[in-house]
Amino acid sequence: MQRFLISETAKHVGQKVKVAGWVNVRRAHGKILFIDLRDRSGILQCVFVPTNKDAYDKAQDIRTEWVVELAGQIVSRPEKMVNANIETGKVELSVEEVNVLAKAETLPFDVTTDGMEINEEIRMKYRYLDLRRPRLQQNLIMRHKTVKFVRDFLSAEGFIEIETPMLTKSTPEGSRDFVVPSRLQPGKFYALPQSPQQYKQLFMVAGMERYFQIARAMRDEDVRGDRQFEHTQIDMELSFVEREDVIELNERMIITIIKTLFPEKVIQEIPFPRLTYKEAMETYKSDKPDMRKDKNDPNLLAFCWVIDFPFFEKDDPASAQGSGEAKEGGWTFTHNPFSAPKPEHMQNLLDKKNIGEILTTQYDVALNGVEIGGGSIRNHTAEALQKVFEIMGYESKEIHEKFGHMLDAFSFGAPPHGGIAYGLDRFLATLLNEQSIREAIAFPKTGDGRDLMMQAPSEIYPKQLKELHINVNQKSSHQAKTEQKMKRRNIGARRNQKLKIKKRS
């Protein structure tokens, strides 16, 4: 007999069906036994009566979270037993056959609640059980639908999705790189991408014109608020565009996503209001202002664009993340070194004059006080890009070592181009009214980057270290562990730090 999904059963009253899933709840009413069976589509009440002796006897042993297959007739429930809250609330399964597919130990926690009452470390350790709860299943389904929607939307706009390498070169993108030792090239390292920034620009040089990718971005940042070492971006780049074109397309995409997939949401203002960085800071004291008129409404979405950021700021040595992108005390970029200045500021960039006043073409999009995306129009001439690095204090030799490939590429005819990337996890967490981005990610890590389920990071075999030409300094790794512990304790204090433009957050 073919298996039916639970959500389909209500359409088959009077028929014999087979369903399979997990025992959500089991209870007895006098001589009658009830099992609420759960599969990916919903929950179905299944009834065992003594007259179906074989099934009834087998059901005596069944416990919650066992995996069972049940066959029987779908019948309408008596009027007063109807449960209007669930899709299958009008029917039940009168069970005739039982097949136990797998038994289960008692779970470490209840999976029928929303899970918020459970210690998060335990939820993370048993994430595969945590994901059984309907709230998280729903979150992952909405994540899938959003990604699929974006793929379809952008494909219809002429974009193609292209993958970019995970093993790449260390570049200054505002955060610390994760590095991967090379076995075949002793002493050399790859870096995991902080974003596909350079590759996507090189696609423009290659003439692809419209690229997108659902891309992973890895940044080894210090523990800070609701962040993850790896996050997923909706990343895109377009040729022959100006700021207006990118904003128009993206605003349309966001509005269509909300109207199609989150119809209960209300967008406060369309077109999205635009604020300059200066206005945002003066009025809201934030470069990602929360513009909601009613902060108690969970369905109100207040989007805004923030534009006209300063291109450069004086480097703050305390915030340097180790990628060595700026010379101490000199200028560093606020968002992205590959951005172009606003056209009217190009001359200042080329002349390296009035540096503090140069505004970038950067545009950020904020939602309810959360930065969900950002991008810019890029410098597409080698000359302008070179000036950015010169302003940051790089020597000519270093510029060529680190960015020679970009400068070369731009010397072979690069079209004007620009793009944007969204932090998908954060965007979804906001739409799903979740407090933490971890609730929108299948297998998140703790705030300090541990995977409690896989026990990562972990030590590796001496043989592996040897192959990679690595010596671990035991003394300093002990010291680092102690420092990490101290840091965890100090996090609270650091959260209250004074506000500052965040580099490419």
Residues of this chain, 309-348, that bind ligand ASP according to CB under 6 A = 336
CA distance 420 to 253: 13
Among 419, 429, 438, 441, binds ligand ASP (CB under 6 A): 419
Residue 435 annotated as part of some ligand binding site: no
Q: Are strands 300-301 and 266-267 parallel, antiparallel or unpaired?
A: parallel
CA distance 21 to 189: 47
State which residue, 19 or 236, has the beta carbon closest to ligand ASP.
Answer: 236
Identity at 230, one-letter amino acid code:
E
CB of residue 478 vs ligand ASP: minimum separation in angstroms? 35
How many residues line the site for ligand ASP (CB under 6 A)? 11
Does an H or E element contain 320, and which?
A: none
CA distance 289 to 392: 29
State which residue, 289 or 375, has the beta carbon closest to ligand ASP.
Answer: 375
CB of residue 505 vs ligand ASP: minimum separation in angstroms? 8
Among 52, 139, 164, 195, binds ligand ASP (CB under 6 A): 195
Per rule CB under 6 A, is residue 232 in the interface with ligand ASP? no
Among 164, 175, 197, 250, binds ligand ASP (CB under 6 A): 197
CB of residue 109 vs ligand ASP: minimum separation in angstroms? 36
Residues of this chain, 371-410, that bind ligand ASP according to CB under 6 A = 374-376
User: Among 176-184, 205-213, 326-334, 414-422, which window interacts with ligand ASP (CB under 6 A)?
Assistant: 414-422
DSSP state letters, 117-133: TS-HHHHHHTHHHHTTS
Per rule CB under 6 A, is residue 504 in the interface with ligand ASP? yes
Pseudo-torsion of CA 478, 175, 373, 366, nearest 10°?
Answer: 80
Name 13's Cβ contacts closer than 8 Å, sequence gap at least 6.
Answer: 74, 75, 76, 91
CB of residue 195 vs ligand ASP: minimum separation in angstroms? 3
60: tokens are 């005596």
Per rule CB under 6 A, is residue 172 in the interface with ligand ASP? no
Q: Are strands 42-48 and 91-102 parallel, antiparallel or unpaired?
A: parallel
Give 39's strand partners.
42
Residue 335 annotated as part of some ligand binding site: yes
CB of residue 459 vs ligand ASP: minimum separation in angstroms? 32
Burial class, 186, CB count within 10 angstroms (exposed 0-12 / middle 13-18 / buried 19+): exposed
CB of residue 504 vs ligand ASP: minimum separation in angstroms? 4
Q: How many other β-carbons are positioned within 10 Å of the β-carbon of residue 326?
A: 24
CA distance 331 to 348: 15
CA distance 198 to 187: 24
CA distance 65 to 38: 9
Residue 351 annotated as part of some ligand binding site: no
Q: How many other β-carbons are positioned within 10 Å of the β-carbon of residue 204?
A: 24
Among 421, 428, 429, 441, binds ligand ASP (CB under 6 A): 421
Among 234, 340, 414, 420, binds ligand ASP (CB under 6 A): 420
Residue 378 annotated as part of some ligand binding site: yes
CB of residue 386 vs ligand ASP: minimum separation in angstroms? 19
Residue 222 annotated as part of some ligand binding site: no
State which residue, 218 or 421, has the beta carbon closest to ligand ASP.
Answer: 421
Binding-site positions for ATP read 219-221, 228, 371, 423-426
Binding interface with ligand ASP (CB under 6 A): 195, 197, 217, 336, 374-376, 419-421, 504
Binding-site positions read 173, 219-221, 228, 335, 371, 378, 423-426
